[in-house]
Structure 1
């Protein structure tokens, strides 16, 4: 078994976001804000471990506090590229727009986060598999945002697809480093148990869902839209 497999995974998933941060100064604020907002989700590892997967954690922290250092690195790295893949690859920038609503950005932010953690709590209590619950929740919130902001429909869809492609590419890199990783660490036999090029379908769904909601999160909460860079 590859030692520190989750740490290696987390570091690999941080690379795309770091590159975008270096090349697009205008997206750095988005990355920083999404990084902060993503941190609480790193504390939910106990809902995935060990039912969905059993990676190796530094200092075996997951068995003491329910999550590891790797979880925080992973969610920050994931949020960095999922929130900016769409504007980066489609050459878009975020611009402030005027909307009729009077609800403050802080209220919307805490409302979305509250909904997320409320439903995560329900999933935990009901023992509904979080690997299904998390993507369902992210997709439902994304659809709700798209219903309110029609201008964000295409960004949400394209952002989801782009993130899934990047997610899959990173998984393929992991498979090159450690060919049996998904067979040994993931318990996909308990779930869909289907792979695409060796990648569990659950991971691809998760990549799409996280990409969609991350692409929509900043412009929706802070009243911004996507505009072509001339």
Structure 2
């Protein structure tokens, strides 16, 4: 099982490549968000070994807490999470006019961007919660904060949560037929809820849902973009 995490991180990267090829009009946005997301793979020591202790290339996860796979995985899901909704519902980005940016809701724009980081730090420092729950709560509240500032993204944020969960369910579930003991061996279930959904820890699915919610609207929030249907010639 030494290379399972590496192989499946390459699989999600290959899926990223397929989406990148299919969504030609969003490649720049997809790349931007992938590069922004990739450094979050460096937070792996917060989760190893308290949450899980995966076998990784050169045994880096066990020896250092860091691993190469997390960087690949974070890069891939960052881009996919950003454009998955747009790909399915055929939306394109347009810039928000400067006059519209002066709306009262946007006065807290910069502060709202930091909501997930603040929530995570508060929970991680002042509660005994496993860091996975801190991350789930941080992304959920980040998504709610984005909804306040950008109500136009309501549909995308909620639907993207379910879309990414469905995608992640298939992705994670594809490991289990080949390695049915993978979760039992490498997740610290005694530190978690020990609730499994067809063999998948519910924490993984909650992570997927809240990530899909928050990350789906982050590009629009960061770069003042909104979604439109593509112009078609009749």
How far apart, CA to CA, are the structure 1 residues paired with 2:109 and 2:60?
A: 33
CA distance 1:111–1:142, shift in 2 (3 Å): closer
Report the Cα offset of residue 141 of structure 1: 0.9
Q: Which residue of 2 aligns with 1:163?
A: 164
Report the Cα offset of residue 33 of structure 1: 0.9
Q: Which residue of 1 aligns with 2:151?
A: 150
How far apart, CA to CA, are the structure 1 residues paired with 2:117 and 2:141?
A: 14
Q: Which residue of 2 aligns with 1:12?
A: 11
Partners of 1:123 and 1:129 within 8 A in 2: no
Partners of 2:30 and 2:83 within 8 A in 1: yes
Partners of 1:18 and 1:80 within 8 A in 2: no
Partners of 1:47 and 1:124 within 8 A in 2: no
Partners of 1:45 and 1:71 within 8 A in 2: yes
Q: Which residue of 1 aligns with 2:91?
A: 92
**Aligned residues, how many?**
226
SS state of the match for residue 129, structure 2?
coil
If asked which structure has higher relative contact order (CA below 8 Å, sep 6+), I would say: 1
Q: Relative to structure 2, which stretch is displaced further, 115-124 or 37-46?
A: 115-124
Q: Deviations over 1:76-102 (max 9, x none)?
A: 111121111100111111121222339
> Superposed, which structure 2 residues align to 1:1-40 within 5 Å?
2-40=1-39
Q: Which protein shows a greater Rg?
A: 2
Partners of 2:2 and 2:57 within 8 A in 1: no
CA distance 1:40–1:77, shift in 2 (3 Å): same
- TM normalised by structure 2 equals 0.88
Q: Say whether 1:125 aligns with 2:125.
A: yes
Report the Cα offset of residue 48 of structure 1: 0.6
Report the Cα offset of residue 15 of structure 1: 2.9
Partners of 2:120 and 2:137 within 8 A in 1: no
SS state of the match for residue 92, structure 2?
strand
Report the Cα offset of residue 5 of structure 1: 2.2
Q: Say whether 1:139 aligns with 2:144.
A: no
Q: Relative to structure 2, which stretch is displaced further, 166-175 or 190-199?
A: 190-199
Q: Which residue of 2 aligns with 1:75?
A: 74
Q: Say whether 1:53 aligns with 2:42.
A: no
Q: Relative to structure 2, which stretch is displaced further, 168-177 or 121-130?
A: 121-130
Q: Which residue of 1 aligns with 2:102?
A: 101
Q: Relative to structure 2, which stretch is displaced further, 180-189 or 57-66?
A: 57-66
Q: Which residue of 2 aligns with 1:179?
A: 180
Structure 2 residues without counterparts, runs of 5 or longer: none
SS state of the match for residue 128, structure 1?
coil
Q: Deviations over 1:119-144 (max 9, x none)?
A: 44444434431111101101111111
How far apart, CA to CA, are the structure 2 residues paired with 1:120 and 1:150?
A: 23
Q: Relative to structure 2, which stretch is displaced further, 153-162 or 23-32?
A: 23-32
